[in-house]
Amino acid sequence: MSDAPTLTPEKRAEEEQLRAVWANPSGWRYWTSVNNSQVGLWYGSTAFAFMLFAGLLALLVRAQLAVPENDLISAELYNQAYTLHGTVMMFLFAVPIFEAVAIFLLPPMLGARDMPFPRLGAFGFWSFLIGGVFVCGSIFFGAAPNSGWFMYPPLATSEQAGIGADIWLLGLSFIEVASLAAAVELIVGIMKCRAPGMRVNLMPLFAWYLLIVAGMIVFAFPPLIAGDLLFEMQRMFDWPFFDPERGGDPLLWQHLFWIFGHPEVYIIFLPAIALLAMIIPTFSGRPIIGYSWIVLAAVGTGFLSFGLWVHHMFATGLPQISLAFFSAASEAVAIPTAVQIFVFIATMLAGRVIFSTPMLFAMGGIAIFVMGGLTGVMVALAPFDWQAHDTYFIVAHLHYVLIGGMLFPVFAGLYYYYPLIDGRHMSDKVGRFAFWMMFCGFNITFFPMHLAGLRGMPRRVYTYPADIGWDWFNLISTMGAVVLGIGMFAVVVDVTLHRRRQPKGEVNPWKAGTLEWISEPEENWGVRSIPHIESRYPLWDHASLAREVKAGEWYLADASEGRRETLVTSVLDAEPEQVLRVSGTSYMTIVSAVTLGTVFVALTFKWWIVSLLSGLAFIAAVLYWLWTGTGEIPEKDEKDIGRGIRLPLYSSGVKSAGWWAMFITMTGDGTACASLVFGYFFFWTIHEDFTGGLTGPGVLWPMMALALFVLAWAATVVAREVNRRGGKTAARMLLGLGGVLSAAGCAAALAGPWTTGMYPTAHVYPAIVWILVIWAAVHGALGIIMQLYCLARSYAGRLTPRYDMELHNVVLYWHFMLVTALITFSVVGLFPEAI
Amino acid sequence: MRESSARRATVLAVSSLSLASCSGVQSALDPAGEEAVQVAALFWVMTIGGLLIWSLVVVLSLYASRWKGRPTSETSAGKLIFWGGVVFPVAVLTALLSYALWLMPSLRPFAGGEQASLRVEVVGHQFWWRVVYHLPDRTAVVSANEIRLPVGQRVEFELTSADMIHSFWIPVLGGKMDLIPGRTNRVSLSATKVGTYRGQCAEFCGTSHARMAFPAVVMKQADFDAWLDSRSRVSVGLAMNPDGRALFKRAGCGDCHGVDARETTSGKGPDLSHVGSRLTIGAGFLPNEIDALARFIAHPGSVKPGALMPASTDLSADEIDQIATWLKGLQ
C-alpha cells in the first residue's frame, strides 16, 4: 500500500515475530483458531446461514397462507415451521449476529489485540453451532418444536408438544449459555481492554451500546434459563410448576419468559442502532451530535426494557391497575428511542451527507423502524392491545420493529464493514438493487398484515376461511415475501460469488474516523501497536495515527517473549494497568463445546448415562482448559510496552480480567437464582395456602445448611488471607476444611425436604422447595470443585502467596454463594414459619 | 421515484380496505359493540396521528440527508434533539396515555351483580367452545360453538379452560381475553347492533388452533328470549329418526356429547342438543349440512387435524349418514 511505512530491520523482525505469534494454524487445525477475527467471521456466517434457513421457513409459511383453505402443507408442519422460524430468527440470528459482529469489531475498535478470553469466545461459537444445528435439524425429522416461539404451557408441557419441546428447551438453554459466555467476554473486553487514554466518554458508541446490551443479557437470559429449568423438570419428571391441578400456574412461565423476552427485543435492537451510530457520522463527515444524549438514551432504554414485560400479557386477565402501570412504562420507552432517532437526524443536519449504499439501508431501516415504533405506541395501550394482541397486527408490528430496527441496519453494517474482512468491497449496484427489492418487498409483505389483523385474523393459523375478507391481504403479503426474498438472495450472491472477483481495495474507503479502520485485514494481530487515544474520532483528529500505529511506534509493538498479549486498562479512565497474556489456539474449546452439547442432546433423548458421562467429561475438559490455559505465573514481573511504560504481567483480584469475568458470571447466576425465588413467592401470592397443606423442610436442616455454608465461606476467605501472608500449609488446610464443610452443607440442604418426605410430584410447594435447595447444593458442589482446584494449584506450585489469582476468584464465587445460601435457606426454612 | 410508487401502493391498499370492509364479520374496524366502537375510534385517532408523525420523521430525515443545502449549525441541530426527541414525544405520549387510562375503566366494567343481565360461561377445549348461559333465575342452558346475546345488554362472560390456554375474541364487539387453566377470567361485552358476526380463538392452542372459531349472533331481546327458551327444552328432533338415534348410542357418541339439553351431561365433547339449528358445525368452519356432518363424523382428524374425537371406523357410510340426518333434525 502507498502509505506503508518504511521499516528498519529491527522493526521488520519485530513485525515478523508478532505475526508468527498471532498466526492461525493451517490445515484442519485452522478450526482450532481462537482469534477474534476468525471466530467473529465463523459466528457471523453461521448466524447468517441460520437466518437464511429461517427465511425459507417464512416463505413456506407465506406460501401456505397465499390462498384460503390451502393444503400445501399440513397443519402440523405449518406449526413447526412458524415456531422454528421465530425461534431461529430470535435465538440463532438476531442475538448471535451481534455477538459475532462485536467479537469481530470490538478489539480493533478499542485498540486491543484480541478479546480478553479468546477461548471463551471460540467455545461460545462452537456451542452455538452445535445447538443451532440440533434445533434446526429437528424439522427434517418432523420433530421440531410446534408450540410457538414462546412455548406457553400447558400446551408446550403436554404430550402434544412431543420431543420438539425438549429440543427447544435444551437446545436453546445450551445456546443461552453460549450467549452468556459472549456477554461476559464483551463486558470485560469493553471495560478492561480499551486502548490507553480511551476514557469512557471517548468510547466509540458501538462499544457503549454493546456494553449496555451485554449487561442486559446478564440480567435477561437467566430468568429464561431458570424458566427452562422449571419447564424441563415438569416435562421430564412431572414436577408440577405449571400444572394448576397441583398448585402450579401456567402464568409463571409467561412472566419468566417475558422478563427475558422483552429486554430481548432491545438486546436485538440496540446493537443495530449502534451500527447506525457508527455509519451515520462517517457519511455525514462529522462527529455525532449529542454523544451524551444517545448514551443516556441507550442506558435508559436498557433500564426501562426490564419494566415492560406485562404488555405481552394484557389479555391474561391481570388487574387493570397493573395493566395501566405497564401501559405507561411501555409508552415511556418511546422517549429514549425518539432521542436516538433525533440524534441521527441532527447529525445529518449538521453534516454533509454522502448517500452511499450503507446509508440507504440505514435510512430505509429508520423509516421502517419508526413505523414499527409508532404501532408499538398503539399496542402499548391496553385497550387497543385487547383487539390487536395475537393478531396479524402484532405480526406486522414486530416485523417492522425487527426488520427495520435490526435487519436493515445489519445489512447497512455488512456493506459498511465488509472491507475490514478482506479488503474487498461489496457491489454498490447489487446493494442498491437489493435495497429497493427488500424495502418494497418488505412493505408489500407486512403493511397489509396490519389490516388483516384488525380485520380479525389471528396469528399462528395454518389456514383461514375464504369469505371473511382476508384473501387479498394474504395474497399480497405472499407476493411481497417473494420480492423480499429476491432482494436477500441478491445480497447472498454478492457475498458468495460476486465479490470474489473483486480486486482488493482500500481498507477505509469511507474515510471513517474510528480506530477499527486502522486494522489490516490480512493480519491477525488486531493492531500492530496500541495507540494512546485522545478523541472520539482519532483518525480524523490525529492524521498521522494510522501510519504511527502500523509502523509499530506505539505501545506493545513486540511479542518478544513469544506470547499473545494485549493491554488491560482501568475501567473509567483507561490508565494502563497490566499486560494480559491471552490464551492461544486450542482444541479444548471444541472438546468442551462437544461434551456440553452431548449433555444437552442426551438429556433430550433421556439417555441418562450418556448425559452423565459427557457431563463429567465436560467438567474434566474445562478443568484441563483452566489448568493449562489460565493463571500462568509469568517468567518476569514486568514488561516494557514502549514509551517508557512498564506494566506488570500478572495481577489478581479486582484488577484482573478473570475477577471481572467471575463477577459478571455470578451476577447472571444470581439473577437465575432470584428468578427461582420469584417463582416461590409467585406461588405464595396466588394461593391462600401455598403449601397445599403439606409439611415443609422444617427449620433445623435449612439453618444447619446455612451455618455450614457460612463456615465454608469463612474458611475460603481466611485461606486467601493466610496464603497472601505466606502461610501456604495453613491455607491448604483451610481450603480442605472448606471443601468438607461445603460437602456437609450440601448434604444438610438436601436433608431438609428429604427427611420431611416432600414429594416434588405431589404439589408445587415441595417442587419449588426442592428446586431451590438443589440449586444451592449444586452451587455448593461447584464451590467444592473450586476449593479443590486451588488446593491442587497450590500443591503444584501454580498458586503461590504472590500469584494467587485463582484464590481471589474463588473467594468471589463464595461471596455470591454466601448470598445464595442466605436467601435460599431463609426462604425455604424461615418464611413458612413467619406466615 | 420508486419510493413514491411504493407509497402509492400503500394508499391503494388502504382504499381497497374501505371498499372491502362491508364483509367484516370479524373486523375490529366494523364495530358493533360498545368497547369495539371506542377502540376503533382510538385506532383511527392513533393511526392518523401516527402517519403524520411518521411522515414528519421521514421528511425530516430526507431533508437532513438529501435536500438541505448547507449544514445546519451544531446548536440548532442539538436543539432538535431536545425538542423532537424529548419534548414532543413526552407531550404526545402524556396526552395519549391519559386518554387511554381514562377510557380503560369504562371499557371493561366489572359486570357482576346488577349490571349483567346474563352470565355466559365459556370453557375452552381443543378445539371447541362449551357455552353455558346462566340466567338470573339460576337455570342454565347448555350449548357449544356458538354465542348468542341480546343487543343493548351488558353480558358477562366467565372464561375458563379445560386443557390449553385459549383466547376468547369477538372483534366486532370488543377485545380478547384469555382462557387459562386454573384461572377464571371475566370480560363483559355489550353489543350495539343486531347481526351475525364471527369470533375466533386468538391464543395458539394446538394443531387445529386455526379451526377454533364460532358464530356470534346479536339478537333483539325478544328473539333472544325466545331462542333461549327453546334451547332450554329438549329438541323435538330427538324422537324422530329412531335408527339414527340408536346408532348414535351404539357407536358411543353419547359418552361425550349430550343431546338432551341438560347442563349436567357431556363435558368431553360439544353438546349437540340443538346442533341442527346452529349456523355452523365443527366450531365455525363447516356449513351445517348433512354432508358436512357426515364428513366430520367419519374422519374428524381429516377436517380438523389433531381433533380428539376418534374416527368412526366401525360405522358404514350409510350408518354415518343416518346419524348425520338425525343430528341435523335436532333443531
| Candidates A377, A379, A433, A682, partner chain B, best to mutate (most B CBs within 10 A) | A377
Cell of B210: 386455526
Q: Which residues 69-98 in chain A show a CB within 8 A of chain B?
A: 74-76, 79
In this structure, the number of other CB atoms found within 10 A of the CB of residue B5 comes to 10
* pLDDT value of position B4: 47
Asked if residues A621 and A628 have their Cβ atoms less than 8 Å apart, the reply is: no
Cell of A171: 437446545
Q: Which residues 21-50 in chain B show a CB within 8 A of chain A?
A: 21, 23-29, 35-36, 38-39, 42-43, 46-47, 50
Q: Measuring CA to CA, which residue among B277, B271, B231 is closest to residue B129?
A: B271
* pLDDT value of position B2: 44
C-alpha distances in Å from residue B207, one per residue of A121, A156, A514, B308 = 40, 12, 52, 11
* pLDDT value of position B14: 41
Amino acid at A101: V
A355 has a chain B CB within 8 A of its CB = yes
Give CA–CA dist A203/A190, Å, rounded. Answer: 9
* pLDDT value of position A702: 97
Give CA–CA dist A676/A225, Å, rounded. Answer: 10
Domain map (residue ranges) of chain B: 24-69+108-231, 236-328
Cell of A655: 484488577
Point out the least confidently predicted range of A139-143, A526-530, B16-20.
B16-20
Asked if residues A314 and B39 have their Cβ atoms less than 8 Å apart, the reply is: no
A677-735 per-position pLDDT tens digit: 999 999 999 988 888 889 899 999 999 999 999 999 999 999 999 999 999 999 999 99
B131-165 per-position pLDDT tens digit: 999 988 888 899 999 999 999 999 999 999 999 99
Chain B residues within an 8 Å CB radius of A289: 74, 77-78, 81
* pLDDT value of position A1: 41
Is there a common fold for B24-69+108-231 and B236-328?
yes
Q: Do B61 and A436 touch (CB under 8 A)?
A: no
Give CA–CA dist A250/A243, Å, rounded. Answer: 7
Give CA–CA dist A743/A778, Å, rounded. Answer: 10
Q: Provide ipTM, 2 decimals.
A: 0.93
| Candidates A72, A286, A348, A444, partner chain B, best to mutate (most B CBs within 10 A) | A348
Chain A residues within an 8 Å CB radius of B103: 383
How many CA within 13 A on the CB side of residue A45? 10
Give CA–CA dist B259/B208, Å, rounded. Answer: 25
pLDDT-based confidence at residue A5 (cuts at 50, 70, 90): low
Which superfamily is assigned to B236-328 in CATH? Cupredoxins -  blue copper proteins (2.60.40.420)
A516-551 per-position pLDDT tens digit: 999 888 888 889 999 999 999 999 999 999 999 999
Task: Report the run of H or E that residue A755 belongs to, with start and end.
Answer: helix A728-755
Q: Which CATH architecture has domain B24-69+108-231?
A: Sandwich (2.60)
B48-65 per-position pLDDT tens digit: 999 999 999 999 999 999
Chain A closest CA to B52's CA: distance in Å? 11
A757-813 per-position pLDDT tens digit: 999 999 999 999 999 999 999 999 999 999 999 999 999 999 999 999 999 999 999
Chain B residues within an 8 Å CB radius of A147: 204
In chain A, what are the domains? 679-834 (1.20.120.80)
Chain B closest CA to A390's CA: distance in Å? 6
